[in-house]
Amino acid sequence: MGLVKRKRVIIIKRVIIVATILILVTGAFGYGGEASPDWDVFKQGMDAEGQLRIYEARERYATAPQNSGFLTHYAWFLTRFDFPEEAITVFNRLLSAANGNPHDSIYLGLAWNHQKIGQLDTALAYYKKKISLSAANRQQAIEDVRWYLHEENRRKIESLKQKITSGNEPLKHRRELAEVYLDQGELHNVIRLAGVLRSQENLDLRTHLYLAWAYLWSGDLHQAETTFAELDKRSPESAFLYTEWAKVHMAQDRMTEAQALLEKALNHYHGATTARRLLAEILAEQHQGKAALAMADTISPDDANRLNALMARARSRHFSGQVESAQPIYARVLKDYPFYPDALWGMTETSIATGRYGDADKALQSWKQVPADPRREIQQQRFRLYTAPTTIANAAYYTNSSNFSRTDAGLSAGWYLGNEWRLTTGYRFSVFFQQDFSEIYRNSGFLDIQKGLTDHLQFTGGLTGHFYNSEHRSLNGLARLSYQFTPEISIHPWFRHMEVIDTTQSFENMTYSHTVSIGAVALNLTADEIGGRIDYRPHPRLAFSGDLRHAEYSDDNHSWKINGEASYRIALKPDWRIAYNYFFLDNRDPAPIFHESGESESAYYDPINFETHSLRLKFRAHGDGNRLTYGAEGALSYIPKCDGTGIYLSAFVSLDLAKDLLLRLNARGFYQNRGTERFGTTGDFWANNLLLTFEYRF
């Protein structure tokens, strides 16, 4: 369990101790222990609580008569064992029954539980009923609360030590002292005192549980596991203990064992909602997305479980890779629980992943108003990584066996402008060369924008101006929409006006991109293309994609292209994927011929019903503390029209040279033993491509 989680649990226990003192002083329980049907029902709950059958105790307390004594114990029981929304409901009953003269402990209980679920302003309003708080800011007010509770517990510790020294009921007071040590975060003293009680054979179940928690929160997971195993022998078949024990395995990253314990908890108590939420998260992390969502949906979002249910739905989607559908659920959580740390983390993480930087920034600003959380700094760094002004310098070289080559070098800068706007602008210089033809030079300037229009819709647009040494000028443009239709399906329609030489970038399609020649540049050919792409991800490891595009060229030719792929992620660490790819190209008419100095060259590749089938294997891994990323890809292609085969190989390495400086190198190569033209076949063909990129974030 993380430091922040430990601090939250420590504070809750301080509140409980302080409130318990107030209750005992004023006699808030209001019952004398006389035998009665009412007392019998309540005692059943207390007996179950003593055996650490927490879910069963909660069920009995809920059916007990609603007098102030029973309700007070019930409310603090819910607070201690982490049922905050239900505790708020019970404390509100006590508040209503107080007739305008409530006990201070009620305010403390309401304050803590509202703070626990992220309703911080409501919590501080209740704390002010009992504690003098700073009005400077929320962080200072929370610090005032923590200091007050710390001092109250310190006084309690001194009092208990004196009672133990005096010999007045030392066993009872040692057990109480172990609890207060746990509240203060003095975990070593909990372990020491529990050892004393164990040696005297007086280690009760409650203190035994505190010992297990002390080991867990101090990071001694081996001892925590051993202690929970001991508790299981003393109180077998406790759904609550199985759930807490599962948290140890989760901290050890032993998800299979944790899953088994959570399933065991649900077998013994079907309504163990915390076990359901944790199990949904584990299933999601193990890429069992559908099972995770189904488990999350079994938690009823009633008043006592609304936060738990919503977070289960959000995290099961988030952890199974469905970040698009998780993000709006986190937003719904924060609407009612604005400072809930896990929701702030989830909202930031999914907003950055989906490019909704405005939502991420808003969540980070809220997060800064509450006590420090190590996760916040990590998310702040990720936000900065994706939104900081960026400068990219890159160079690329492409050559093939047709004696055609292309060299590009450029510089670009990008900014996140806020409100989901991102702007990128830059310059690129290109040289096109083919043997026996004149070189062609091109200067290009471009401006691209991205704008999130709604939670599910994004617009991308761009303008590019080209200036050739032949004094030819052209203006190209792109308009593209991306719509997340469902969590599994996204669609991407577009229109673009472009130079034919830029129709397909080098190796964008391994068996087609090499066919562009210098003729397309020399004849100043352009194309208007309309197309669409659909992505379908029915399972976190399985993905399908397909695109269809139609282009009308400035020479009055028309072309159709189809590209489809199915991929499966066969391993996670490192990342291995296998894919099948299908490509189809058809040109209605032959391409024009470019003539120069007695030489001639077709302006572009113009086949009829050209298709390829490819099997691809991809690999990606990280090293050196994630500073290094590297990978490779191989593919085997079959070309039915000429009965030819092709082999594609690529490798890349990406290295963080410094905190904000990234270097990436990519090498790609292709070879086919036989090719096809519009009519007839050709011999073998090869192509190579090198790319070098430097990226700096300010």
Look at residues 378, 374, 366, 336 and name the one whose alpha carbon lies nearest to residue 137: 366
- Other CB atoms within 10 A of residue 64 CB: 20
Look at residues 178, 131, 242, 134 and name the one whose alpha carbon lies nearest to residue 13: 178
Does residue 51 sit in helix, strand or coil? coil
Residue 143: alpha-carbon gap to chain centroid: 30
Q: Read off the amino acid at residue 458.
A: Q
What are the residues whose beta carbons fall under 8 Å from the beta carbon of 321, sequence distance 6 or more?
287, 289, 537, 540
Backbone angles phi, psi at 279, to 5 degrees: -65, -40
Furthest CA-CA distance within the chain: 115
- pLDDT in the model for residue 29: 41
Q: Give a yes or no: residue 590 inside a domain.
A: yes
Mean local confidence (pLDDT), 480-500: 92
What are the residues whose beta carbons fall under 8 Å from the beta carbon of 687, sequence distance 6 or more?
398, 399, 400, 401, 507, 513, 514, 669, 670
Q: Which token pair is 672? A: 């086919």
- pLDDT in the model for residue 4: 43
Q: Read off the amino acid at residue 61.
A: Y
pLDDT, tens digit (0-9, with 9 covering 90-100), for 523-535? 999 999 999 999 9
Q: Give a yes or no: residue 684 inside a domain.
A: yes
The range of the structural domain enclosing residue 411 comes to: 388-697
* pLDDT, the chain, mean: 89
- pLDDT in the model for residue 92: 94
- pLDDT in the model for residue 27: 39
CATH of the domain at 657: 2.40.160
Look at residues 538, 511, 448, 536 and name the one whose alpha carbon lies nearest to residue 685: 511
Report how many domains make up the chain.
1
Look at residues 283, 340, 279, 344 and name the one whose alpha carbon lies nearest to residue 306: 340
pLDDT, tens digit (0-9, with 9 covering 90-100), for 442-453? 999 999 999 988
Q: Give a yes or no: residue 93 inside a domain.
A: no
Angle among Cα 49, 55, 59 to the nearest 5 degrees reads 90
C-alpha pair distances (Å), 103 with each of 16, 68, 286, 464: 14, 11, 48, 71
Helix (H) or strand (E) holding 22: helix 3-26
pLDDT, tens digit (0-9, with 9 covering 90-100), for 639-648? 999 999 999 9
For residue 572, pLDDT over 70 is answered with yes
Mean local confidence (pLDDT), 555-564: 96
pLDDT tier at 416, thresholds 50, 70, 90? confident
Q: Which token pair is 350? A: 């999914």
- pLDDT in the model for residue 510: 67
**CA separation for the pair 13, 129 (Å, rounded):** 19
**436: alpha, beta or left, given left = phi > 0 and alpha = psi -120 to 50?**
left
- pLDDT in the model for residue 181: 93
pLDDT tier at 515, thresholds 50, 70, 90? low
Look at residues 480, 475, 461 and name the one whose alpha carbon lies nearest to residue 530: 480
What are the residues whose beta carbons fall under 8 Å from the beta carbon of 323, sequence distance 6 or more?
317, 349, 350, 353, 354
C-alpha pair distances (Å), 317 with each of 254, 287, 335: 21, 10, 19
The number of CA neighbours under 13 Å toward the Cβ of 283 is: 23
pLDDT, tens digit (0-9, with 9 covering 90-100), for 333-349? 999 999 999 999 999 99
